[in-house]
Amino acid sequence: MRSRSEGAFAPNADAARWRADALHDPSRDWPQTNCYVDLWIEAIHARGLPAQAMLGFTARLDFEGDQFTFFKPPLEDIEALYGFVTRELSLYDDVEGHIVEQCAQGRLVMIETDAFFLPDTRGVSYRTEQSKTTVGVNRIDPVAKTIDYFHNDGFFRLSGEDYDGAVAFGADLGRQKLPPYAEIVKPDFAPPGECETRGLARALLHAHIERRPTRNPVSIFAERLPSLVARAAAREPAFFHKFAFNTMRQLGANFELMASHLDWLGEAQEFTQASEHCRAISAGAKAFQFLLARAIMRGKSAGLDAPLAALADRYEALFTLLARNGGALRRAG
């Protein structure tokens, strides 16, 4: 059965009254994760669906040699769980026209943009520095020059000069001369019911656990850390924020999301202990970030081995438990 909403992917979303999903509660260790996952969380939330269901992919976080995985939900998982079909949007004409056309058909336009023009990044990037990020355009009004968009942990509106900058991709502005990458999210199919969604999510989690890294990614990070600290210490102070985002935030936020997934998925507290391991990794990564900052200031990685070893042990304990539950997950799916 097909479903269609006219004029906006989330027709009832209101930037002035927006309340973020619980996954973005300020009390969490990592209220923001990365721009792509955060966008999906709020877009799914705007459709009244549980964003926790999609988070089984967090089982596959790896260390990629110079960063932890910039984790993203597989689009096939999104389609199975929510009925949203995601396709690349080819920008062969002016960006504004493409966005107008797609939003008019009730689709979400997920597009790379420059945070320089995003007022929700005030105090970070807005009007101060260029920074690539991804937003989800829910509505666009070319006459009033406004865009309502999902970004990070909320739903916002930009207008005026920010509108001009946001839709000027490809123009020779000295900022970005190539068209950005864009996708459209089409709510083509009705989502499954709650019971079926949980069954699908359990099966997907099992599949992701089966394809987890063959080596403990925290242990690999620990092996590489001395050279990474030395490299970061030789850079300008602002470099630390980029390094920390791609290491500690991705590690910690990934497993805090996994804890939320297990809490949502579990019945009769079957994942309580696994969820505790996830939260310990999340909290440990947050604490380690401060140790890492001091180590980089000194240019030495001494004293970092023990806390990383504790995180690596938590990772091993977590996946020992999850692998033991694999049969139950498979049968439930």
What does the pLDDT look like over 133-143, one tens digit per residue? 999 999 999 99
Note the pLDDT of residue 170.
44
Note the pLDDT of residue 1.
34
Token digits of residue 100: 């107008």
Q: Which amino acid is at 88?
A: E
Whole-angstrom distance, CA of residue 32 vs CA of residue 153: 6
106-152, pLDDT tens digit by residue?
999 999 998 999 999 998 889 888 888 999 999 999 999 999 999 99
Note the pLDDT of residue 330.
60
Mean pLDDT of 160-166: 91
pTM: 0.92
* Model confidence at 73: pLDDT above 50: yes
235-258, pLDDT tens digit by residue?
999 999 999 999 999 999 999 999
* Model confidence at 159: pLDDT above 90: yes
Note the pLDDT of residue 167.
82
C-alpha distances (whole Å) from 13 to each of 3, 4, 171, 203, 322 are 18, 16, 30, 31, 37
Whole-angstrom distance, CA of residue 236 vs CA of residue 226: 18
* Model confidence at 294: pLDDT above 70: yes
Mean pLDDT of 297-320: 94
Note the pLDDT of residue 266.
83
Whole-angstrom distance, CA of residue 275 vs CA of residue 318: 8
Residue 190's CB is within 10 A of a number of other CB atoms, namely: 11
* Model confidence at 315: pLDDT above 70: yes
Note the pLDDT of residue 262.
97
* Model confidence at 174: pLDDT above 50: no
> 87-96, 148-157, 264-273, 308-317: lowest mean pLDDT where?
264-273
C-alpha distances (whole Å) from 167 to each of 30, 32, 151, 230, 238 are 30, 25, 16, 40, 29
**Mean pLDDT across the chain:** 92
Let me know how many helices (H) and strands (E) the chain has, helices first: 11, 6
CA 132 from centre of chain? 14
Mean pLDDT of 80-98: 95
Note the pLDDT of residue 173.
43
181-196, pLDDT tens digit by residue?
999 999 999 999 999 9
* Model confidence at 176: pLDDT above 80: no
Domain boundaries defined on the chain: 15-186, 194-332
27-53, pLDDT tens digit by residue?
999 999 999 999 999 999 999 999 999
DSSP state of 143: T
Note the pLDDT of residue 327.
54
pLDDT band at residue 324, thresholds of 50, 70 and 90? confident
Residue of 75, 17, 85 whose CA lies nearest to 46: 17
Handedness of CA 44, 48, 54, 58 (dihedral sign): positive
Q: Report the top-level CATH class of 15-186.
A: alpha beta
CA 192-318-295 angle, to 5 degrees, is 115
Note the pLDDT of residue 268.
62
Whole-angstrom distance, CA of residue 62 vs CA of residue 11: 37
* Model confidence at 6: pLDDT above 70: no
Whole-angstrom distance, CA of residue 251 vs CA of residue 64: 12
